[in-house]
């Protein structure tokens, strides 16, 4: 019986390359998420509402444009009642004169949200992005 010499093999060398497949999978998933989410972010209303405590109106030297919507859905610029087309044109003129003005929006509680959203859209279309919502203070309960 002859015994041959047993060959010793070296242990496998550690892998020095990074497996890129999981990284590519994660990146593709993130890309798909951003592709789907990007149109949703672009269509969102962009509001820069001032921060206030206890619903107090802002003070300062900034210029203010006051717009109101009554319960019947009529639009008012200051105290002047305006039709929607006239209000859009007036907003465009005011935005050109005072691009950094703050739009203060007062809406009756019975006004449908669609009218308020339409007014915000008109303001943003003429680049008035500072919009504040005016509300009455609640009487403190005892």
Please, what are the domains in the chain? 64-133 (3.30.420.270)
Strands, E assignment, the chain = 64-69, 75-77, 80-82, 102-107, 131-133
CA distances from 93 to 86, 123, 124 (A): 11, 11, 13
How do the pLDDT tens digits run along the chain, 142 residues long? Answer: 556 666 777 777 887 788 889 999 999 999 999 999 887 776 543 433 334 555 555 555 468 888 888 878 888 888 888 899 999 999 999 988 888 888 888 888 778 888 888 999 999 899 888 888 876 655 454 4
pLDDT (0 to 100) of residue 51: 44
8 Å CB contact between 104 and 67:
yes
List Cβ neighbours of 84 (8 Å cut-off, separation of 6 or more): 75
By the 8 A CB rule, do 102 and 50 touch? yes
The answer to whether the predicted template modeling score (pTM) of the entire model surpasses 0.85 is no
Strands 80-82 and 64-69: unpaired
pLDDT for 42: 65
């Amino acid at each position: 019986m002859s015994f041959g010499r047993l060959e010793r093999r070296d242990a496998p060398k550690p892998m020095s390359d990074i497996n890129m497949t999981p990284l590519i999978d994660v990146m593709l998933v993130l890309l798909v998420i951003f592709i789907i989410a990007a149109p949703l972010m672009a269509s969102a209303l962009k509001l820069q509402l001032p921060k206030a405590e206890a619903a107090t109106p802002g003070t300062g030297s900034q210029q203010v444009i006051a717009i109101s919507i009554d319960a019947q859905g009529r639009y008012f610029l200051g105290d002047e009642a305006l039709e929607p087309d006239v209000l859009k044109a007036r907003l465009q003129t005011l935005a050109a004169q005072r691009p950094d003005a703050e739009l203060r929006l007062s809406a009756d509680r019975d006004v449908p949200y669609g009218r308020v959203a339409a007014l915000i859209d008109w303001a943003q279309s003429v680049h008035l992005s500072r919009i504040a919502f005016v509300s009455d203070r609640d009487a403190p309960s005892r």
